[in-house]
């Protein structure tokens, strides 16, 4: 699943822009971004040198966030290898450098030995680190100082935003994301947390996986709790809805939970069994939860996002095509009607993902890999993060005039 890590880049020897570009390419090679596809870069900042010998030129600094399955020492080794590759020679402390790569944070790990210290011991004292870091991870919490990056930046500059800071448009909001232990649901939970929301994580099987996502939400500065429920069971669905409402009265509901009929033992179930599971989870639970929360939200305002499927409208051959068309198509049609029922205080929209690389896509045959890319004008699989970015926008105030819509997130396929 991976650990969210933050890496600082610094260079003050010309050609600095080129060093950063080459560093980015080398990092992709050494760290394999296809592993998680969730890299985020801050802007590049030009900064006056701090410490070191007199007469040094200004630096370019940038911060990268990524999720990695490497351990922290392994990650550092790869960073040092990239530094070496770029011709870094260590002579004078804080002297000029082609490229400096520092591991700032590795999840909430606190570690110190002769080769590695995380959190980076000087990160909280340095504007050239905190400014770019705050741009991409204002809510990440320093695990020793127990302050968010935005707070550390404010401490350093003496300049604190009042109300939600930039990039934190969901501060003060509570979200419930069903099926958020992995894949698209997990990515949505983390993206809403990055925007400042508190998130209830829901799972049906693995408490450990749900706890791990809740921990990642907290790393992004949000509050989080875990609720487990088997949404195939209507009684459990009702109990779950009541528990979630009692816990935080969520103003955001993302109905992401769906029956997995593609991987593991389920892949070989007969058609009828798959149909029952999809109807129970994807259709009935989504309809029940949307109506239940929608009625409660009507007094307070709220927003609901459902998940459909882009090919429900165009058709796809085979059992899975028929099953998903019928069930996801139902969710898409339901969304439009519910939006009419719940307007004007509650918005309801549906995201229709295309070829998104989740567990099934990762293991799919070469023929499927080729087909997904061929049918997608942007010529790549989507990542869970692509869907999450759209979900974040849909639940944000920026989308306050958008309701009753089914929005495709599919790399441009229009067939």
What is each CA distance from 333 to 192, 276, 337, 367, in whole angstroms?
Answer: 25, 19, 7, 31
Q: Give the single-character DSSP code of 359.
A: H
| φ, ψ (nearest 5 deg) of residue 216 | -70, -35
Per CB under 6 A, does 103 bind ligand A4P? yes
In angstroms, give the least distance from the CB of 87 to ligand A4P.
Answer: 14
Q: Which stretch binds ligand A4P (CB under 6 A): 36-44, 45-53, 191-199, 387-395?
A: 45-53
Encoded tokens for 375:
């049918």
Encoded tokens for 172:
């003060």
DSSP secondary structure string, 281-304? Answer: IIIIIHHHHHHHHHHHHTTT-EEE
> Tokens 């550390």 map to which residue?
152
DSSP alpha helix (H) spans, 59-98: 72-85
Per CB under 6 A, does 164 bind ligand A4P? no
* Residue 47 touches which of Mg ion, ligand A4P, none (Cβ within 5-8 Å per kind): ligand A4P
- The answer to whether 394 and 349 have CB atoms below 8 angstroms apart is yes
Q: Give the sign of the dihedral formed by CA 107, CA 112, CA 116, CA 121.
A: positive
94, 271, 300, 368: which one binds ligand A4P (CB under 6 A)? 94
Which residue in the shown chain puts its C-beta closest to ligand A4P? 10
d(CA 316, CA 408): 16
Closer residue to ligand A4P (CB): 58 or 161: 58
Closer residue to Mg ion (CB): 13 or 373: 13
By CB under 5 A, name the binding residues for Mg ion: 100, 102
Total Cβ atoms within 10 A of residue 211 = 16
3-state secondary structure 92-132: CCCCCCCCEEEEEEECCCCEECCCCEECCCCHHHCHHHHHH
Per CB under 6 A, does 61 bind ligand A4P? yes
Closer residue to ligand A4P (CB): 96 or 361: 96
- Angle between helix 318-342 and helix 286-297 axes, rounded to 10 deg: 10
Q: Which stretch binds ligand A4P (CB under 6 A): 41-49, 181-189, 291-299, 326-334?
A: 41-49
Closer residue to ligand A4P (CB): 61 or 181: 61
DSSP secondary structure string, 315-328? Answer: ---HHHHHHHHHHH
* Residue 138 touches which of ligand A4P, Mg ion, none (Cβ within 5-8 Å per kind): none
* Residue 334 touches which of Mg ion, ligand A4P, none (Cβ within 5-8 Å per kind): none
Per CB under 6 A, does 96 bind ligand A4P? no
- The answer to whether 201 and 221 have CB atoms below 8 angstroms apart is no
Residue ranges in 264-303 that form contacts with ligand A4P under rule CB under 6 A: none
Name beta bridge partners: 212: none
In angstroms, give the least distance from the CB of 118 to Mg ion.
Answer: 12
Cα pseudo-dihedral 165, 167, 172, 177, rounded to 10:
-170
55, 91, 93, 363: which one binds ligand A4P (CB under 6 A)? 93
Q: Which stretch binds ligand A4P (CB under 6 A): 50-58, 311-319, 361-369, 378-386?
A: 50-58
Binding mask 368-407 for ligand A4P (x = CB under 6 A): ----------------------------------------
Per CB under 6 A, does 205 bind ligand A4P? no
In angstroms, give the least distance from the CB of 339 to ligand A4P.
Answer: 48
* Residue 365 touches which of ligand A4P, Mg ion, none (Cβ within 5-8 Å per kind): none
What is each CA distance from 291 to 216, 285, 342, in whole angstroms?
Answer: 29, 10, 9
Residue ranges in 62-81 that form contacts with ligand A4P under rule CB under 6 A: 76
Residue ranges in 104-133 that form contacts with ligand A4P under rule CB under 6 A: 115-118, 120, 122, 128
d(CA 342, CA 337): 9
Q: Which residues are catalytic?
A: 88, 97, 100, 102
Per CB under 6 A, does 31 bind ligand A4P? no
In angstroms, give the least distance from the CB of 9 to ligand A4P.
Answer: 8
In angstroms, give the least distance from the CB of 69 to ligand A4P.
Answer: 19
Residues in contact with ligand A4P by CB under 6 A are 10, 47-52, 59, 61, 76, 90, 93-94, 100, 102-103, 115-118, 120, 122, 128
């Amino acid at each position: 699943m991976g650990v969210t890590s933050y890496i600082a880049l610094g260079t003050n020897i010309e050609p600095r822009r080129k060093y950063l570009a080459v560093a980015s390419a080398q990092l992709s090679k050494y760290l394999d971004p296809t592993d998680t596809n969730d890299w985020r870069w801050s802007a590049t900042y030009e900064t006056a040198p701090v410490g070191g010998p007199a007469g040094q030129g200004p630096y370019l600094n940038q911060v990268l966030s990524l999720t990695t399955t490497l351990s922290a020492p392994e990650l550092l080794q790869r960073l040092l290898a990239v530094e070496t590759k770029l011709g870094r020679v260590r002579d004078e402390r804080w002297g000029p450098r082609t490229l400096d790569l520092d591991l700032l944070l590795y999840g909430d790990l606190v570690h110190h030995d002769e080769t590695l210290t995380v959190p980076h011991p000087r990160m909280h004292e340095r504007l050239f680190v905190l400014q770019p870091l705050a741009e991409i991870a204002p809510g990440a919490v320093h695990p020793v100082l127990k302050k968010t990056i935005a707070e550390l930046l404010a401490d350093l500059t003496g300049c604190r935003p009042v109300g939600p800071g930039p990039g934190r448009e969901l501060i003060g909001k509570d979200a419930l994301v069903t099926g958020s232990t992995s894949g698209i649901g997990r990515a949505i939970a983390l993206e809403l947390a990055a925007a400042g929301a508190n998130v209830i994580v829901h799972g049906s099987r693995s408490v450990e996986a749900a706890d791990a996502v809740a921990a990642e939400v907290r790393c992004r500065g949000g509050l989080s709790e875990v609720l487990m429920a088997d949404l195939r069971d209507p009684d459990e669905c009702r109990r779950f809805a009541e528990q979630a409402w009692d816990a935080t009265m969520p103003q955001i509901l993302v109905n992401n939970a769906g029956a997995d009929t593609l991987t593991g033992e389920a892949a070989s179930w007969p058609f009828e069994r798959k149909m029952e599971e999809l109807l129970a989870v994807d259709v009935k639970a989504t309809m029940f939860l949307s109506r239940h929360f929608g009625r409660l939200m009507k007094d307070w305002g709220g927003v609901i996002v459902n998940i459909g499927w882009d090919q429900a409208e165009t058709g796809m051959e085979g059992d899975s095509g028929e099953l998903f068309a019928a069930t996801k198509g139902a969710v898409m049609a339901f969304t439009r009607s519910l939006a009419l029922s719940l307007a004007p205080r509650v918005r309801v929209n549906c995201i229709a993902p295309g070829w998104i690389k989740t567990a099934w896509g990762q293991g799919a045959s070469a023929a499927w890999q080729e087909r997904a890319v061929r049918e997608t004008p942007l010529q790549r699989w989507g990542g869970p993060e692509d869907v999450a970015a759209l979900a974040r926008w849909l639940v944000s105030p920026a989308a306050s005039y958008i309701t009753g819509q089914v929005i495709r997130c599919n790399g441009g396929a229009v067939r």
